Amino acid sequence: MVDFRSAEGKAALMRPDHSDYHVSMRPPVSSPDDAEQRLRQIELVTDTALADLEHDDLLREMLQRVSDVLEVDTAAVMRYDPASEVLVATAAVGIEDEVRQGVRRHVGPAFAEAIANGSRPLSLDSRTDPSVLQPVLRERGISTLIGVPMLAGGEVVGVLHIGTYEERRFSDHDVHLLQLVADRMALAIRGHTTRAERAATSALQRSLLPTRLPAVPGVALDARYVSGSGPGVGGDWYDVFTLPSGLMGIVIGDVVGSGLPAAIVMGRLRSALRAYAIETEDPAEVLHKLDRKVTHFEPTAMATVGYSIYDPSTSQLRVSLAGHLAPVVVEPGHGGRLAPLPVDPPVGLGVAHRKRRTSLLELPAEGVVCFYTDGLVERRGKPIDDGLQLLCDAVVPEPASAVCTRVMNRLVGGEPPSDDIALLAISWSEDSRP
């Protein structure tokens, strides 16, 4: 980690052993009038014409304008990737090689990395320890560099740096103007990253959902999946598949977490569960194997999962719940109710040694079973029991497609949900009884 310390107008970049790099912030050379003029010019960087540009074109155009206004030879953006803790060359003017060569730097003592670590401006010149400068900058003969952090929501999203071939004294006004541009670029990057991640998450989620539900005589299946509009979306899924024995596997799950990382974990769990389902037809054993897999290979992940196996010859469900909400069951002449099933710990909780349980659920003739994720029944500021009661009231003994439509109308309506929702309904006709 790099530490910034300042005294008497100087900013020092400290090595981990507290020895100094030579780094200085020199006195201003431009007048306030010059700075005001430049400020008006810099504001052109975010004029309305830029709004129509694609993300990469937007960054390059902003860098070009910064270079022109501040009269520098190079300008570059290095985006911070928190997953790998590296800075990635994203856009550049004058040193396009940084982008073409795919420059990636782990956050450490070097120039751009130091700015990201300290979240403060930094200026370097030819007297600076060469180890601070990136090779592509040294090879280009860059004499003076100044960089500022790109901040959005108080978090570093990258680094903006400019350079000159001749030694240059950057003023406080220069730093202020550069930071203004960096802040605006940071918002553009954050917005683009958020949109891109949401699009990737949604595409991954939907690619992992069943394209077609199995056809089973006397059994109707229907499902709904809705991506949430809030920040916590990413890890809900359902799955239905036919096992080699002819039995039907039914899965409902919700990965703890959000965004693309949660969706990726969800995809891994889905594939692993399918593989374990072929090895054993005991739902509890399948979830036990899944728990061991998550605990060993993905120790930071956790998920609630319900796995059931339907036997057409007996019209029974064998169910095991790993921290997941119990399904709702309804039969003719009765209201919907939560199935009285035991709930074991979620997978990934670190209790793989604990024995999991499989329970038998008798399916009523002309009845319905609904599996769901918590996004359907949880509402901000309201007890989850209220949502569960609404769900029980909405589930009626009708065909699965009608049940899904009724449930979504009653619990979701026309409001976009803040969390993901997965809903799977199964209805049985009298003809399905053995």
Q: What is the pLDDT of residues 159-195, one digit of tens each?
A: 888 888 888 887 777 787 888 888 888 877 777 666 6
pLDDT band for 93, please (50, 70, 90 cuts).
Answer: confident
* 303 vs 30, more confident: 303
Q: Is residue 404 within 8 Å of residue 222, measured between CB atoms?
A: yes
Compute the residue count for the chain: 434
Q: In whole numbers, what is the pLDDT of the chain averaged over residues?
A: 78
Distance, CA of 419 to CA of 210 (rounded, Å): 20
Q: Is residue 113 within 8 Å of residue 156, measured between CB atoms?
A: no
pLDDT band for 127, please (50, 70, 90 cuts).
Answer: very low
Domains detected in the chain: 3-199 (3.30.450.40), 209-432 (3.60.40.10)
Q: CB 72: neighbour CB atoms within 10 A? A: 24
Predicted local confidence at residue 178, as pLDDT: 83
* 358 vs 226, more confident: 358
Predicted local confidence at residue 257, as pLDDT: 80
Point out the least confidently predicted range of 99-103, 210-214, 224-228, 234-238. 99-103
Residues 6 or more apart in contact with residue 349 via CB below 8 angstroms: 291, 302, 323
Q: Is residue 110 within 8 Å of residue 145, measured between CB atoms?
A: no
pLDDT band for 411, please (50, 70, 90 cuts).
Answer: very high
Distance, CA of 126 to CA of 142 (rounded, Å): 8
Q: What is the mean pLDDT of residues 412-424?
A: 84
Distance, CA of 107 to CA of 335 (rounded, Å): 59
pLDDT band for 410, please (50, 70, 90 cuts).
Answer: very high
C-alpha dihedral (376, 378, 384, 387), degrees to nearest 10: -40
Predicted local confidence at residue 33, as pLDDT: 62
Predicted local confidence at residue 48, as pLDDT: 47
Question: pLDDT digits over 43-91, tens only?
Answer: 665 554 455 556 667 778 788 888 888 888 988 888 887 767 777 877 8
pLDDT band for 344, please (50, 70, 90 cuts).
Answer: very high
379-383 contacts, C-beta under 8 A, 24 or more apart: 380/418
Predicted local confidence at residue 77, as pLDDT: 87
pLDDT band for 391, please (50, 70, 90 cuts).
Answer: very high
* 432 vs 257, more confident: 257
pLDDT band for 4, please (50, 70, 90 cuts).
Answer: very low
Question: pLDDT digits over 14-36, tens only?
Answer: 333 333 333 333 444 455 566 56
Angle at 46 between CA 41 and CA 50, to 5 degrees: 120
Q: Is residue 346 within 8 Å of residue 254, measured between CB atoms?
A: no
Q: Is residue 93 within 8 Å of residue 58, measured between CB atoms?
A: no
* 416 vs 254, more confident: 254
Structure tokens at 285: 């054993």
115-120 contacts, C-beta under 8 A, 24 or more apart: 115/147, 115/148, 115/149, 115/159, 115/161, 116/80, 116/87, 116/149, 116/156, 116/158, 116/159, 117/1, 117/2, 118/2, 118/3, 118/4, 118/13, 118/149, 119/149, 119/151, 119/156, 120/4, 120/11, 120/149
Distance, CA of 307 to CA of 319 (rounded, Å): 6
Highest mean pLDDT: which range of 59-73, 197-211, 395-409: 395-409
Q: CB 174: neighbour CB atoms within 10 A? A: 24
